[in-house]
Structure 1
Amino acid sequence: MSKQMGIRELGEFLRSRRALLTPADVGLPTGGNRRVPGLRREELAIIAGISPDHYQRIEQGRSAPSVAAIRAIADALRLTADEEHYLRRLASTDSTVGTSGVEHRVGIPDHILKLVEYSESPIYLLNHRRDILAWNPAARTLLCDFDDIEPENRNIAWLIFTDSHFRSLYREWDETARTIVGVLRYAEGDHPEDQELKHLIARLTTASSVFRSLRERREVAQKCGGFKTLCHPLIGDITLVHQSLSVNGNPDLELSMYTAHDETSKTALQFLSAWDTTRAAAESRPTPAV
């Protein structure tokens, strides 16, 4: 993301958040004719406690906002913590912010690989682009055999938007897709010079009209987590707890783990594990001589 692109995105992001608030939301009179939805610039400036001219120059990219101004604008727009973080990145004048660790491949510590390999719960390792770097047998059985996917397509965002199996796997596919788009936008703020991330977003924009539509919302999310209901081809619906965990000392790495939500889901995961063990044993047997 060049400086000029960052300035343009800053203005578009502020306008998109402004459009989501109505005068009634912030205690302002609701009368009068409005040509556009949401708050006017002047109204947002008053709520933020800055001059309308100063806010207009910030939104138009003609003035660099101070830290205090960013905080005031974020409060006025009722931004989430993730959205405020993204706004700060866009407004930053330090060209080195968020660029470390992007132009070279992040090494995966051996202990993290062992954690993935020997975990009983389905778990896989991601980077900020959502590339799938490592996974265990439980994740392969629950989600898909990642070995069968071409390395350039071995990316959660790509699979969710382009793979029919993943489209049918997630019961709450719409919410999952929306969150993934927000996670990628958050990554853009932290890694503005990541050419591979730009390439991924360009591919997704070309491949998926749904992705394009969701991108226009300019929503931001840091991580994926919560309850997930999957429609597995072997066992049907299974509700799991899904959580993303940052790797200490390796900010570009993230563990994504599924655990049982209740006894029913625990039993279902145990069945999948036993089924995978049986399948692997059968595949390892030598073919009888004819």
Structure 2
Amino acid sequence: MNEKERRTELAQFLRTRRERISPQHVGLPPGTRRRTPGLRREELALLAGIGATWYTWLEQGRAIIVSGSVLESLARVLQLDADERAHLFILARQQLPADPLPLTQTIDSALQLILDTMGIYPAWVLSPRWDIIAWNQAACRVLGDFGTMASRKRHILWLLFTDPRYRAMAVDWEREAQRFLALFRASTQRYVGEAWLTELIHDLEQVSPAFREWWSRHDVQGVQAEHKHLLHPLVGLLVLQAKTFQVADHPDLQMIIYTPVPGTDTAAKLAVLSEPLSAE
């Protein structure tokens, strides 16, 4: 991870978290003539028990060493949740990311067979960069033919923010897109400063105003728990739940399988979608 990029990311994360805390939430009077939302740097430093100048340097991205106790104080005052607290510690290098794993670009026939045996249930395999590197026919029937897409378009964020078909299908696209952005930031924090991530963010900022706005918020989330609601043009509403599995012999890969939520008619609709291809 590039040291300058890491410090910049830490500075921006602290600033966005500071700006969302109102003075009233921490027992301070609202005051007047505030030029920015949230707490002032001096107020945050006072509440965290640290020097205002030192904290200003931290938010400016200067090369200073941060102790674990100071990070805990900042997390407390900023009211960070568990995912945000972990993000803070990793960016501040108090918890070192694991050694980079070799980037796997393809899968073997055995893993593809497992995808195919999922039958009517959409499934795909993601790289650490969130590229979709393998999929089954059920995923194509629900989300589009990945085999005909350019490699850039087979990326989760690119699919979310640039594919009009997917956006039209998503019942609550804004909520889903923001949630996936938070998941992506949390899962790729060890790659801050690497060329592929910088390029991806730059390109998405150019083509998607929504991405540009939401990425600057620095939200993080560690677990995907919500159901996926899609309005498929052929069968109507699909309500799916995701289960993620790490591939043991390629630990940088994750296999994600979408299954119907019990109590819905999604299974019957997935079976209908499979019929044309099954009859060939």
Residues 45, 52 of structure 1: 8 Å contact kept: yes
Paired with 2:230 and 2:168, the residues of 1 have a C-alpha distance of 8
1:209 and 2:212 equivalent?
A: no
Q: Deviations over 1:101-157 (max 9, x none)?
A: 25x436647664443232243221112222112222222222222112122321111
Shift of 1:193: 5.1
Q: Counterpart of 1:84? A: 85
Partner of 2:241: helix, strand, or coil? Answer: strand
TM-score (norm 2): 0.87
1:126 and 2:136 equivalent?
A: no
1:37 and 2:37 equivalent?
A: yes
Counterpart selection for 2:268 from 267, 270, 280: 270
Question: Which has the bigger relative contact order, CA under 8 A and spacing at least 6?
Answer: 2
Partner of 1:226: helix, strand, or coil? Answer: coil
Q: What is the letter of the counterpart of residue 258 of structure 1? A: Y
Paired with 2:241 and 2:56, the residues of 1 have a C-alpha distance of 44
**Larger mean Cα displacement after TM superposition, 36-45 or 196-205:** 196-205
Q: Counterpart of 2:3? A: 3
Provide structure 2 residue ranges, at least 5 long, that are not aligned to the other structure: none
1:281 and 2:279 equivalent?
A: yes
Q: Counterpart of 2:170? A: 170
Q: Counterpart of 1:233? A: 233
Residues 98, 192 of structure 1: 8 Å contact kept: no
Partner of 2:35: helix, strand, or coil? Answer: coil
**Larger mean Cα displacement after TM superposition, 218-227 or 161-170:** 218-227
Paired with 2:46 and 2:110, the residues of 1 have a C-alpha distance of 52
Paired with 2:260 and 2:195, the residues of 1 have a C-alpha distance of 37
Q: Counterpart of 1:67? A: 68
Q: What is the letter of the counterpart of residue 209 of structure 1? A: P
**Larger mean Cα displacement after TM superposition, 123-132 or 214-223:** 214-223
Structure 1 residues 6 and 241, CA gap change in structure 2 (3 angstroms) = same
Q: Deviations over 1:31-87 (max 9, x none)?
A: 344222101122222332333333223222332211221222112211122222222
Partner of 2:279: helix, strand, or coil? Answer: helix
Paired with 1:138 and 1:79, the residues of 2 have a C-alpha distance of 39
Q: Counterpart of 2:56? A: 56
Provide structure 1 residue ranges, at least 5 long, that are not aligned to the other structure: 283-290
Q: Counterpart of 2:114? A: 115
Q: What is the letter of the counterpart of residue 279 of structure 1? A: L
Between structure 1 and structure 2, the one with the greater Rg is: 1
Runs ≥4 residues deviating over 6 A? none
Paired with 2:134 and 2:156, the residues of 1 have a C-alpha distance of 12
Partner of 1:252: helix, strand, or coil? Answer: coil
Structure 1 residues 210 and 236, CA gap change in structure 2 (3 angstroms) = same
TM-score (norm 1): 0.84
Residues 5, 192 of structure 2: 8 Å contact kept: no
Residues 138, 273 of structure 1: 8 Å contact kept: no
Paired with 2:94 and 2:264, the residues of 1 have a C-alpha distance of 52
Q: Deviations over 1:208-253 (max 9, x none)?
A: 1211111121212234331221100111122222344444575532
Shift of 1:269: 2.6
1:242 and 2:239 equivalent?
A: no
Partner of 2:80: helix, strand, or coil? Answer: coil
% same residue: 33
Partner of 1:92: helix, strand, or coil? Answer: coil
Residues 99, 190 of structure 1: 8 Å contact kept: no
Structural RMSD (CA) = 2.6
